[in-house]
Amino acid sequence: MPNKHNFGAGPCILPQEVFEEAAQAVLSWGNTGLSILEISHRTPEFESVVAESVQLIKDLMQVPDGYEVIFVQGGASLQFGMLPMNLLNDNETAGYLDTGVWANKALKEAKLFGQVNVLASSKDANYSFIPKDFDIPSDLKYFHCTSNNTIYGTQLQSFPKSPVSMVCDMSSDILSREVNVADFDLIYAGAQKNIGPAGNTVVIVKSSILGKVTRKITSMLDYQIHIEGGSMYNTPPVFSIYVAMLNLRWLKKQGGVKEMERRNIEKANLLYSEIDRNSLFKGTCAVEDRSKMNICFVMNDANLEKEFLQMAVAAGCVGLKGHRSVGGFRASMYNALPLSSVQVLVDVMKQFEALKK
Ligand SMILES: *Cc1c(COP(=O)(O)O)cnc(C)c1O
């Protein structure tokens, strides 16, 4: 049984009961007499896993009619290219909001397929804030944003009103707060940061935007092929989808996205108030843009960081080391991380302050 407080950025913590049920299914899955690892994806049992997972996402996110939910592979990184390949003709322009490394990678890929207009960027400030002062021209094919910047700890607190299709990389905050899916024409998210284990990527797409590019698309990168195949055009990541289903069931049982949002606000408030109170620590990004999923902070005296990290590790906190482009610490607090783990971290911060007084 895992006994650490897992603040890792992804793959990340999932609920204990999901681990237990998944472990059981590896040994023997339901009444099949088989392990989930050996079962054919063409069995009615597994087809019902895919159907239930899709339905859970639709229910939890209140996905309106006219949208499809599909599972593909290749991570969010493949979506950086697959999305413009399916939506953007060579002579058309897409607008991108450059809010971090992932957003930047996404726009680089889009340049391979069409024209890119970077509407705003906070790159010069090491992505420490979300630019807000920009217009979205109405002649763009689509507008792309990243809802939560996993590495820098910033998050769009609200989404701009877009006159064109809005598409969004929600990899690190999907299902953590309520969003109005109807405001978006496409949402994608790598599973390993709130949905389930790595290997699966969720795409929610409005059907009417597809089939409008003139280029030829290889089958595996064509959204329409995956929709027609019910996410089983080829062998899907069976185990990853199965565990995602267990996690989605857990989420629903806990009270759904609304309840997750309440808990995530409570967890984030607990840690941010300690960062702001504690004389040794400070946050790294604009207060109004602070993420509730990935909380980045440093020490006023960087020489103390190693010692603090050791003390946190001794208290069972893992995954806290900040990304190399920000330094310091990053506490990722995805849905399954309990408030009690955040309290352990906060207590270590208090103890460390007392030690240094
Ligand atoms: C982790 C992450 C990615 C990359 O995901 P992969 O599944 O590893 O390709 C992309 N965007 C965001 C916002 C992320 O947090």
Ligand 1 mutation target, pool 83, 150, 187, 202, most atoms within 8 A of CB: 150
Of 207, 231, 254, the domain-final residue? 254
CATH label of the domain that carries residue 319: 3.90.1150.10
CATH label of the domain that carries residue 110: 3.40.640.10
- Chain segment 130-160, per-residue pLDDT in tens: 999 999 999 999 999 999 999 999 999 999 9
- Chain segment 237-264, per-residue pLDDT in tens: 999 999 999 999 999 999 999 999 999 9
pLDDT beyond 90 at 357 = no
Residue 232's domain comprises 16-254
Known catalytic residue at 193: yes
Q: Are residues 33 and 110 in the same domain?
A: yes
Is 143 in contact with 168 (CB distance < 8 Å)? Answer: no
Is 329 in contact with 9 (CB distance < 8 Å)? Answer: no
Of 254, 274, 302, the domain-final residue? 254
- Express as a percent the part of the chain with pLDDT over 70: 100
What is the rounded distance in angstroms from the CA atom of residue 282 to the CA atom of residue 81?
Answer: 36
What residue type is 114 in one-letter code? G
H-helix or E-strand containing 356?
Answer: helix 339-356
Q: Are residues 23 and 118 in the same domain?
A: yes
Q: Are residues 314 and 196 in the same domain?
A: no
Q: Are residues 113 and 245 in the same domain?
A: yes
pLDDT at 2: 77
What is the rounded distance in angstroms from the CA atom of residue 196 to the CA atom of residue 3?
Answer: 19
Quick one: CA torsion of 347, 349, 354, 357, rounded to 10 degrees?
-170
Index of the ligand 1 atom closest to the CA of residue 78: 9
pLDDT beyond 80 at 184 = yes
Q: Exactly one of 102, 185, 206, 267 is catalytic; which is it?
A: 102
- Number of domains making up the chain: 2
Going across the sheet that includes 281-283, the strands are 281-283, 294-299, 329-332
Output the six-digit token pair for 299.
Answer: 């020490």
Which residue in 194, 188, 162 sits closest to 261, CA to CA? 194
pLDDT beyond 80 at 317 = yes
Q: Are residues 266 and 235 in the same domain?
A: no
